Amino acid sequence: MHGSRWTVSNLAPGMPRVAFLVLLAALAAPQLAAGQVATLAERHQLDERMAEYVDEPGAVVAVVREGKVVLAEGYGLANLEHGITLARETVLDIGSVAKQFTSFAIALLADEGTLSLDDDIRIHLPEVPDFGDVITVRHMIHHMSGLREIYNSESLAGRQDGDAMQQGDALRLTEHMHDLNFTPGDRYLYCNTAYMLLADIVSRASGMPFPEFMAERVFGPVGMHHTTIMSKLGQSIPGVAESYTPDDDDFVRVFDNSSLYGAGGMYSTVDDLALWMNNYATAAVGGPAVIEQMQQRGVLNDGEQLSYAFGINVGELRGQRAIRHTGSSAGFRASFMFLPELAGGIITLSNRSDMGSVMPADVLEIFFGDHLKPLPADEPASDEDLVDDDESESWSPTTTQIASLAGSYYSEELETVYTLYVENGMLMGRHRRHGTFELQATAPMTFEGPGFFGTAVFETSAGGLSQTFRVSNGRVLNLLFQKVDL
């Protein structure tokens, strides 16, 4: 047929166009050997499990066996407004599943001798302050750097959902840090800031922008041609799904107005991620030494070994060795689970925020349940577990004590002010972006606020008056606020 054009009419005369296209797609698809396809029973179970997402945001599911995708199906809608269905080709934000790719880039550069995992990060990022304790690249990979979490910090500073955030914000936040959460290596505390800085280290060490490095050195060689790093605000990505969250009896769209990457910011398909999963088994890209390095778990200063390795959790799952990670961003939810001893695994990508861990666990049970130990039965709570909240320790401050806490408090690190005042005998807080909120006394000189604020512990001076408090809100610990005159 040299010199002529393929058409429906000259290849399949009389065949309906839709039927021909289905046939053509089937002929073009990789042919799987016996045992490398999902059974009808498995498909039926999966269809039943995913039926609840019809006409709603849903998920794309892929199952890998022996390095082959034996099933890849979309369930539900990628776009509610236009009725576009989710399909295996749909691109979705994979959230923190992206962290393993950032770690892989670091491992590649370390294997080549471009950097060392034990480098002081200030070698590559001299803008980072000298905190008195060295933070290494390895510390950041295993979430034991002590750096403050960017999302918790920005929320405390007044950031609202939908406010724009860009890659440079992570380094700027770190530049202004006065203290670490803890001495590097002393404990594990999940930290997106660290992974954003790891992406910056990849850029500086390689001399290539992080998105270009990933495309040239990772995505391209693996064959992940539908995977993208979102590197600018408002970037258009072909084939991407919208993300949603439930709102009463309906759904509303949720936007990730950021260009942060390294910790996330990566969009992909289940087929691309299946190729990546297979690379853990073949080491075709990176080589065996890098793949082995990826599975090296962190070790704390006291010798305790973590389950967290290089952007992945490595350990046992129901009797099987498992490499896994989950992700969330805006309304997107992702799950990546590889079972090396079974040469298989599952990938789920969702565009609804209420998609929890149950659905991926159900998919795993359908396709690999025969190879997994039974789930443990729920054990009844012991008497020690039954705690009466009414008997827990409480503290009731006096009117004088509450009055002494009133005033304006400034964080030099975050450059933000909280004003505390007394109303109807209660300590109240006010912030120019968060508005007003109540602070509940929970222990001596300790008050609990909303999630963005967390817990404030007041420090009293020799005269008994409070001039400072320190806030902890999950991934930010003991951040100092000092009383000021405004």
Q: Enumerate domains of the chain plus CATH numbers.
A: 92-371 (3.40.710.10), 393-484 (2.40.128.50)
> What pLDDT does 23 receive?
40
Q: Are 76 and 56 in contact (CB under 8 A)?
A: yes
Task: Tell me the three state secondary structure of residue 413.
Answer: coil
From the list 212, 263, 269, the residue with the least C-alpha distance to 240 is 269
Residues, the chain, total? Answer: 486
Check residue 460 and give its pLDDT.
79
What is the SS3 assignment for 384?
helix
pLDDT tens digits, 152-187 = 999 999 998 888 889 999 999 999 999 999 999 999
Question: Would you give the distance in Å from CA 233 to the centre of its chain?
Answer: 19
Pairing between β-strand 416-423 and β-strand 466-472 as defined by DSSP bridges: unpaired
Q: What local confidence, expressed as pLDDT, does residue 4 receive? A: 32
As a whole number of angstroms, the distance between CA 242 and CA 482 comes to: 43
CA–CA gap between residue 247 and residue 367 (Å, rounded):
33
Q: Evaluate if residue 462 carries a pLDDT over 90.
A: no
Predicted confidence band at 376 (pLDDT cuts at 50, 70, 90)?
confident
Angle at 216 between CA 215 and CA 221, to 5 degrees: 95
Residue indicated by tokens 């491992």: 107
Mean pLDDT of 354-383: 85
Q: Decide: helix, strand or coil at residue 385.
A: helix
- Of the pLDDT bands very low, low, confident and very high (cuts 50, 70, 90), residue 249 is confident
The whole-number pLDDT of residue 291 equals: 98
In this model, does residue 60 exceed pLDDT 60?
A: yes
What is d(CA 326, CA 324) in angstroms, rounded to the nearest whole number? 7
SS3 of residue 299 by DSSP: strand
Which two three-digit tokens encode residue 371? 């190879």
Average pLDDT, the chain: 90
How many CB atoms are located within 10 Å of the residue 403 CB?
A: 13
Q: What's the half-sphere exposure (Cβ side, CA atoms, 13 Å) at 483?
A: 15
Residues 54, 73: Cα–Cα separation, whole Å = 13
- Predicted TM-score of the model (pTM): 0.88
d(CA 2, CA 170): 56
Here the tokens at position 369 are: 């349940």
pLDDT of residue 32: 35
Residue 62 pLDDT more than 90? yes
Say what the alpha-carbon torsion angle 81, 267, 30, 287 is, to the nearest 10 degrees: -170
> Which tokens in the block code for residue 252?
């509303």
